[in-house]
Amino acid sequence: MMHPLWAALALTCLQLCPAADIKPQIASLAFATNNPTLTTIALEKPFCMFEGAASATLPSKIYLYVMMDSVEARVAPVLDNGSHPLRTTVQQAAGGRRGPYWAAAFSAARCEDLPRLQDAGDPARAPQILDAYLFRVGGNTTCMWDPNYAGVCNPPLAKKTGYRFKYVLVNTTSNSAEDQSLWSDPIRTKRALPWSHLDTWPGRRSGSMIVITSILSSLAFVLLVGLAAAITYRILASDGSEVETRHASQVTQEAASGAPYSSASRGVAPERAEAYAGNLPC
């Protein structure tokens, strides 16, 4: 969270600091600490930049054009012969390689409509103030791939690439340009760090150590799964052999205990044999 005093100073500079050349500027670090990023660049909106925007009767918008940095980008036109702003899409301009593309259109607020400086330190108002003062180029991640998207497209920028920007004040009634800024100085997006330079806190291990640790962790997981499967199989196998042994033992006991009974049942009972012997004639 920005300190209220620093925020107030930054907002004051946006409104009052004169510029020798009217051109888009990268946002102050007081507003965007991580700027630019790999695919975005935050710019200051052109408040109090165009005299025509101060008129309360002028229905106007600010158009933002983007082009990759090149010799041609310094003088690339964004108006046709009739002073109408071009609406070249990002696909037609090949992402800014072939020429400038129309990236945004937002309201041209009057200087007296700026957010109050004393509200800059309020956490609840900070997002609204940032949105009023800044525009993030490259903030739309879906418009290039959505075939049904009908609005102006502001897709992510290319990594490690320089870009130039231009603001145009457009009368929305006549669709004609009232004023325009110069092309900005080149602003470059960040480049992706190689995996060997990643911050591997804690311990600040190298990228190769991270890869080796990941492989060893995967192998340990596979070994644990195999050990659990072996233990489960051993338990199930021992339970089955115990049931078979118990069944065989029971059958053997029954067979052993039934042998005298079987032989006795095949013979004559002792009492009947005595009675039969007593009845025999002498």
For residue range 63-90, list pLDDT tens digits in order.
Answer: 999 999 998 888 899 999 888 999 999 9
**DSSP-based three-state secondary structure for 256:** helix
Residue 18 has pLDDT above 50, yes or no: no
Confidence of residue 41 (pLDDT cuts 50, 70, 90): very high
DSSP label at 247?
H
Average pLDDT of span 99-119: 80
Q: State yes or no: cis peptide before 36, omega within 30 of 0.
A: yes
Q: Which one has a higher pLDDT value, 206 or 94?
A: 94
Mean confidence (pLDDT) of the chain: 77
Residue 126 has pLDDT above 80, yes or no: no
Average pLDDT of span 134-149: 89
Percent of the chain having pLDDT more than 90?
33
Domain residue ranges in the chain: 4-192, 207-278
- Please report the pLDDT score of residue 82 as a whole number: 81
Q: Compute the C-alpha angle 41/44/50, nearest 5°.
A: 135
Residue 165 has pLDDT above 90, yes or no: yes
How buried is 83 (Cβ within 10 angstroms: 0-12 exposed, 13-18 middle, 19+ buried)?
Answer: middle
Distance (Å, rounded) from C-alpha 66 to C-alpha 77?
11
Q: How many Å separate Cα 144 from the centre of its chain? A: 17
- Please report the pLDDT score of residue 240 as a whole number: 63
Confidence of residue 1 (pLDDT cuts 50, 70, 90): very low
Does domain 4-192 fall under CATH 2.60.200.20? My reply is: no
Torsion angle, alpha carbons of 241, 242, 247, 250, to 10: 140
- Which of 18-22, 97-101, 195-199, 213-217 is predicted most confidently? 97-101
192-212: pLDDT as tens digits: 776 655 555 555 566 677 778
